[in-house]
Amino acid sequence: MDIEFWWLLALPLFFALGWLAARIDIRQVVQESRALPRSYLNGLNFLLNEQPDKAIDAFVEAVRIDPQTVELHFALGSLFRRRGETDRAIRIHQLLVDREDLDEEQRLQALGELGQDFLKAGLLDRAEAVFLKLRDTRANDVAQQYLLEIYQQEKDWAKAIEIARALPNHESVMWRREVANFHCELAANALANSRFEEVRSHLDDALAVNRRSVRASLLLGDLDVAEGRDEAALEAWKRIETQDPVYLALVAERVMEAYGRLGRQEQGHQLLRAWLENHASLDLLDELFRWELEKHGPKTAYELVREELKRNPTLLGLDKLLEAALLTAPSEQRSDIELIKQLIHGHTRKVARYRCDACGFKARQFHWRCPACGGWETYPPRRTEEFDLTP
C-alpha cells in the first residue's frame, strides 16, 4: 500500500501534541491539588484513620477557607445523619446556613438539610421553624411534606389538615384517606371530652373528604350511643359493610351491646352470623363464640366454631374449638385436650398478630396508623393467619 509522504511528517507532530496535552493536564491536576486547603487533606486523613471528630473540625476549617468544598460538606452531613450522628450533621449544616457567600440555591439546600437533622434528632420545634422558612420558596413542596410529618408526630391535627390540603396531590385517594383520619383524630379527642357538637362537625368533615371512611362511621356510632341513640348508632355501624367489610370486627362487640340495650339480642346475633357467613373473620368468630358460650353454653359454641372451621380452617379457630371441647369433655379426657390446646396455643401466638400491608410490621394490637411506617389504614384488623386465607 502506498503511503503519502506528508503522513510521515504528520506522525511526529501528532505525538508532540499528545505529549503537550498530557503535560497540561498533569500541571492542572497538580495546581488544583495544591490549591486545596491543607485542612481538607487533613480531614481526609482523619477519616481514613477513623477519627471522625477531628475530621469534622478539619472540614469545618476547610469550608471557612475555601467555599468550593461546600458540596463535600453536604454529603458528609447527610452521611452523619444517616448514621444517627445528628449533632455532627447539625454542626456542619448550621455552619453552611450561617455563611454569607452561598448562593440562594445552596442556602435553601443547607436549610433543608438542617431541618432534616433537627427532625431526625427529635427537635420538632426547631425543625418546624426551619421548614416554615422554606415555604413559598423553590423548596416549598419538600418543606410541606416534612411539616406534615412533624404535625402528625406532634398530634397537631388542625395544622396537619391545613398542610395536607396545600399539597399538590391533595385530591388523590391517599390524601383523602389521610385528611379524613386527621378529622377523626380531632373527633375522637372531642368525644373523649364530651364535646358532642364538635365531634359531629369533625365527622361531617371527615365524610365530606372521604365518604368511605370506616373510622368516621365507627365514631359516628359511638357519638350516637353517647347521646342515647342506639338505633342511629346501629345504622352507622352497618354502613361499614359497604365501606370496607374487613373492619366489621371492630364494631361487633358494640353492635351486640347496642342490641342488648334495645332488648333485641337475638337480632344482633343473627346480624353477626350473617357478617361471618359473608366475610370470614377470626375476630368476628371470637365475638360470636363468646356470645354463644355465655348465652347458650359450650355445646352451641363448639358447634359454631366447628362449622366455621369446615369453611375456613385456621389454627386460631382450632384453638377456640379446643376451648369449647374442654368445657364439654368428660373429666378423664380433659387433661389430654388441655395438653393439645397448650401445644396449639404456642403456635397461634405467632399467627394471631395484625400486620401492616405497607411495611409488614406486626403487633398484637390494632392501630389506625402503623407504628412503624406511619401509614394510615394500612393495618387492617385481620390476623396474620388470615392473609393466607384471603383469595
370 is in an annotated binding site: yes
Per-residue b/e over 5-32, b at no fewer than 16 CB within 10 Å?
A: eeeeeeeeeeeeeeeeeeeeeeeeeeee
Beta pairing partners, 383: 354
8 Å CB contact between 46 and 54: yes
Q: Indicate the DSSP class of residue 117.
A: H
Q: Determine whether the annotation assigns residue 184 to a binding site.
A: no
- 111 CB-near residues (< 8 Å, 6+ apart): 97, 130, 133, 134, 139
Quote the cell numbers at residue 325.
371441647
Q: CA 275, 280, 284, 288 torsion: positive or negative?
A: positive
All residues at 6 or more sequence positions from 263 whose CB lies less than 8 Å from its CB, including other chains: none
CB 187 within 8 A of CB 219: yes
Q: How far is CA 191 from the centre of its chain?
A: 25
Helix or strand or coil: residue 227? coil
What phi-psi label fits residue 102: left (phi over 0), alpha (psi between -120 and 50 degrees) or beta? beta
Give the separation between CA 103 and CA 149, rounded to whole angstroms. Answer: 28
User: What is the sign of the dihedral through the CA atoms of 171, 174, 175 and 176?
Assistant: positive
Residues in contact with 173: Cβ distance below 8 Å, sequence separation at least 6, in sequence order:
none
Residue with cell 377523626: 184
**C-alpha 276: how far from its chain's center?**
30
Nearest-CA neighbor of 353 among 367, 369, 339, 338? Answer: 367
Task: Please give the annotated binding residues for Fe cation, written as ranges.
Answer: 356, 359, 370, 373
Task: Please give the annotated binding residues, written as ranges.
Answer: 356, 359, 370, 373
